[in-house]
């Protein structure tokens, strides 16, 4: 029996956040159950029991413990399985800096990227045109964010300090979504941000997972003709 079950979806940035955390921790003893968002699986009675807002991802353990919200899941798994992705509990300053970096990602980055992803990525699959005014405004926020991050990353290697941490993982699926929407310049037009990104995605476990997802996506597209 696997240690737990992860319910998620292909192409979900929130699901990928958890998968990347598990990959970096070298943890494979879990079952991934893929829900079909297009068919509304996330709103099924079973999933509503696991996530009362009818979202993904969520995890369930054999003892019945259930958890939803991707960042909460990631932090729980890191602590439960001792992945070296959080500061030591005794490192009060390091923990404070991590909490600060986590808040920055959630409040200043994830929101505008989420708007871009919905307008330029999700709506495409829904057969709807993007609201370009929303995209333009959100892109301004992303550009402003990376302007500040460029200065910060000239002083440190990662978002929360000089060690790769869980907060860096939080960014990876969202940056990948920006790339899928055609906005690679937000990263590659900035030297320090580019160096940070390369350090993150060239970590062996991260690279293996991302390369595997790309290959699976290419195979799926080829199968569709």
- Are 46 and 96 in the same domain? no
Q: What is the pLDDT of residues 43-84, one digit of tens each?
A: 999 999 999 999 999 999 999 999 999 999 999 999 999 999
Decide if pLDDT at 163 tops 70. Answer: yes
Does 87 fall in a domain?
no
Would you say 186 and 109 are in contact if contact means Cβ atoms under 8 Å apart? Answer: no
Q: Does any domain span residue 184?
A: yes
**Do 76 and 135 share a domain, yes or no?**
no
CATH number at residue 183: 1.20.1050.10
pLDDT digits (tens, 9 = 90+) for 117-143: 999 988 887 888 999 999 999 999 999
The two most distant CA atoms of the chain are separated, in Å, by 55
Tell which of 49, 81, 113 closes a domain: 81
Task: Give percent of the chain above pLDDT 70.
Answer: 96
Asked, for residue 11, whether it belongs to a domain, the answer is yes
Q: What is the CATH number of the domain that holds 44?
A: 3.40.30.10
Q: Which residues are CB-contacts of 181 (< 8 A; sequence separation ≥ 6)?
A: 116, 117, 120, 121
The reply to whether 86 falls in a domain is no
Is 164 domain-assigned? yes
Say yes or no: 212 and 105 in one domain: yes
Q: How far apart are CA 163 and CA 207, in angstroms?
A: 18
Domain that holds residue 28: 5-81
Last residue of a domain, one of 81, 100, 115: 81
Same-domain pairing of 167 and 200: yes
Task: Clarify whether residues 39 and 141 are in a common domain.
Answer: no
Q: Are residues 77 and 113 in the same domain?
A: no
Number of domains in the chain: 2
pLDDT at residue 150, rounded to an integer: 98
**Spatial distance between the Cα atoms of 16 and 213, rounded to a whole number of angstroms:** 10
Q: Evaluate whether residue 38 is within a structural domain.
A: yes
Q: How confident is the model at residue 208 (pLDDT cuts 50, 70, 90)?
A: very high
**Vertex 105 angle, CA 163 and 38, to 5°:** 115
Write out the two tokens for 29: 């003893």
Let me know whether 23 and 115 are in one domain.
no
Co-location of 108 and 197 in the same domain: yes
pLDDT, tens digit, for every residue of 55-66? 999 999 999 999
Same domain? 127 vs 154: yes
Q: Is residue 201 part of a domain?
A: yes
Q: Residues 117, 188: one domain?
A: yes
- Residue 178, domain member (yes or no): yes
Among 29, 54, 81, the domain boundary falls at: 81
Residues 137 and 160 reside in one and the same domain: yes
Give the C-alpha separation, 45 to 52, whole Å. Answer: 10
Residues 147 and 52 in one domain: no
């Amino acid at each position: 029996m696997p240690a737990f079950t992860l319910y998620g979806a292909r192409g979900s940035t929130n699901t990928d956040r958890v998968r990347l955390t598990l990959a970096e921790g070298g943890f494979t003893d879990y079952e991934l159950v893929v829900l079909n968002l297009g068919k509304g699986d996330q709103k099924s009675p079973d999933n509503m029991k696991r996530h009362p807002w009818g979202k993904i991802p969520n995890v369930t353990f054999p003892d019945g413990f259930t958890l939803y919200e991707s960042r909460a899941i990631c932090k729980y798994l890191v602590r439960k399985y001792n992945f070296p992705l959080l500061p030591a509990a005794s490192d009060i300053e390091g923990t404070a800096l991590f909490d600060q970096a986590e808040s920055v990602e959630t409040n200043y980055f994830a929101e505008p990227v989420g708007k871009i992803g919905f307008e330029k990525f999700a709506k495409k699959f829904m057969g709807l045109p993007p609201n370009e005014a929303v995209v333009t405004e959100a892109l301004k926020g992303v550009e402003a964010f990376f302007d500040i991050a460029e200065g910060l990353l000239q002083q440190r290697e990662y978002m929360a300090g000089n060690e790769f941490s869980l907060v860096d993982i939080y960014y990876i699926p969202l940056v990948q979504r920006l790339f899928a929407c055609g906005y690679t310049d937000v990263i590659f037009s900035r030297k320090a941000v580019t160096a940070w990104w390369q350090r993150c995605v060239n970590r062996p476990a991260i690279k293996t997972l991302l390369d595997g997802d790309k290959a699976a996506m290419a195979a799926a597209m080829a199968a569709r003709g």
